C-alpha cells in the first residue's frame, strides 16, 4: 500500500513528538543490496556514518517525502512511496528482525524503516538535498500541496484550464501539479467529484473543477482524520481506519451511491476502479 501525503503527515507528527532532540548512536543497514542496485539507497553507505552523533532537530514532510533534519548538517530522507513501514521501538524487544535501516538513539530507543516496494532511504548532506529525486520533486514549492494555504481554488482552476492532459497525469506522478497523491487517492477523489477517469483537465467546467478541488481536500483531510488508510500502520504500529470510497476494495461491488456495478479501466499505466453511471 502506498504512503501518500496523509500518511506521511501522520508519521511526521508522531516522529516530531517522539524523536525530536534524540541523538543518533548508530545506524544499521541490512538486505539493502537490491535497494542500492535500483537507486533506492545511497551508493556510498559510509554517508550513513555521518548521521551518527547528530541530534534530531525536526521532522517535516511535503507530498509523501519525509525529511528528518539533524543538527550536524545531515538529513535522513524517507520516501516509502509504494509501501513501507517506519516504526518506533521503546527498546530492542519490540524491534522487528526485518528492516532495511535501524537507527539506535543514545537512550537505546530505536527507529526501523522497511520498504516493501519502490521508495527511498537516503542519508544526505544539507547541500546535496537537491540530488535526491524525491526531495526535489515534493519539496518544490512551485508544485502545490493540497494542505498548504497556497492551494486555492483560483490557482487550481488556472492550472486545470491551461492543461489539456488527462486528469490522472495532472494529479499523480512526476508531471502532476499537486504533490503527494498516488493512484489510490486519485480513484477516491474522482469518484467523489463524479468525474470519469479519462476526462481531461482543460475540459472541466467551473463546477466540475470546483468538485475536483473540494474532493482533493476532503479525501486528504478525511484520511488524516481517520489516521490513514486501512492498510497503513503508523509509527507505533497502529492501523489506520480510512476505507477508500473507490479503489480495488470496490471490485465487483455495486456503487454505494447508485448501485451500478463498479468497473475497472486501464488509465495512465495503472488500473482505476470507477462507477460508469456516477462518473461522467
Residues in contact with Zn ion by the rule CB under 5 A: 255, 257-258, 260, 275, 277-278
Sign of CA dihedral 33, 39, 42, 43: positive
80 and 86 Cβ atoms separated by less than 8 Å: yes
> Of 257 and 265, which has the nearer Cβ to Zn ion?
257
CB of 278 to Zn ion, least distance (A): 3
CB of 172 to Zn ion, least distance (A): 22
> Of 68 and 246, which has the nearer Cβ to Zn ion?
246
CB of 185 to Zn ion, least distance (A): 19
Which residue from 172, 173, 166 is spatially nearest to 186, judged by alpha carbons?
Answer: 172
> Of 258 and 265, which has the nearer Cβ to Zn ion?
258
CB neighbourhood size of 94 (10 A): 13
Distance (Å, rounded) from C-alpha 274 to C-alpha 280? 10
CB of 257 to Zn ion, least distance (A): 4
Which residue from 185, 165, 184, 187 is spatially nearest to 176, judged by alpha carbons?
Answer: 165
| Three-state secondary-structure class, residue 219 | helix
145 and 63 Cβ atoms separated by less than 8 Å: yes
260 and 277 Cβ atoms separated by less than 8 Å: yes
| Three-state secondary-structure class, residue 150 | coil
CB of 246 to Zn ion, least distance (A): 10
> Of 106 and 256, which has the nearer Cβ to Zn ion?
256
| Three-state secondary-structure class, residue 151 | coil
CB of 190 to Zn ion, least distance (A): 12
Distance (Å, rounded) from C-alpha 278 to C-alpha 260? 9
CB of 253 to Zn ion, least distance (A): 11
> Of 237 and 261, which has the nearer Cβ to Zn ion?
261
> Of 222 and 263, which has the nearer Cβ to Zn ion?
263
Q: Which residue is nearest to Zn ion (CB)?
A: 255
CB neighbourhood size of 72 (10 A): 17
* Ranges of H-type helices in 45-149: 133-138
> Of 25 and 196, which has the nearer Cβ to Zn ion?
196
Amino acid at each position: 500500500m502506498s504512503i501518500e501525503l496523509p500518511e506521511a503527515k501522520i508519521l511526521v507528527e508522531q516522529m516530531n513528538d517522539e524523536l525530536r532532540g534524540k541523538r543518533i548512536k548508530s545506524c544499521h543497514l541490512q538486505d539493502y543490496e537490491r535497494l542500492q542496485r535500483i537507486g533506492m539507497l545511497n551508493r556510498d553507505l559510509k554517508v550513513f556514518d555521518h548521521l551518527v552523533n547528530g541530534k534530531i532537530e525536526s521532522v517535516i514532510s511535503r507530498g509523501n517525502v519525509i525529511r528528518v533534519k539533524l543538527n550536524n548538517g545531515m538529513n535522513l530522507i524517507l520516501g516509502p512511496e509504494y509501501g513501507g513501514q517506519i516504526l518506533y521501538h521503546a527498546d530492542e524487544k519490540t524491534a522487528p528482525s526485518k528492516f532495511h535501516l535501524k537507527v539506535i538513539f543514545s537512550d537505546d530507543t530505536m527507529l526501523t524503516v522497511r520498504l516493501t516496494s519502490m521508495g527511498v532511504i537516503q542519508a544526505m548532506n544539507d547541500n546535496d538535498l537537491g540530488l535526491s529525486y524525491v526531495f526535489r520533486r515534493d519539496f518544490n514549492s512551485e508544485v502545490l500541496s493540497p494542505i498548504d494555504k497556497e492551494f486555492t481554488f483560483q490557482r487550481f482552476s488556472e492550472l486545470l484550464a491551461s492543461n489539456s492532459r488527462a486528469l490522472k497525469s495532472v494529479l499523480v506522478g512526476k508531471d502532476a501539479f499537486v504533490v503527494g497523491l498516488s493512484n489510490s487517492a486519485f480513484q477516491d477523489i474522482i469518484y467523489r467529484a463524479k468525474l470519469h477517469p479519462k476526462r481531461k483537465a482543460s475540459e472541466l467546467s467551473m463546477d466540475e473543477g470546483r468538485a475536483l478541488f473540494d474532493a482533493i481536500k476532503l479525501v486528504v483531510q478525511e484520511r488524516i482524520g481517520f489516521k490513514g488508510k486501512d492498510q497503513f500502520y503508523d509509527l507505533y504500529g497502529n492501523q489506520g481506519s480510512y476505507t477508500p470510497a473507490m479503489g480495488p476494495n470496490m471490485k465487483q461491488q455495486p456503487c454505494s451511491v447508485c448501485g451500478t456495478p463498479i468497473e475497472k479501466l486501464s488509465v495512465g499505466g495503472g488500473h482505476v476502479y470507477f462507477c460508469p453511471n456516477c462518473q461522467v
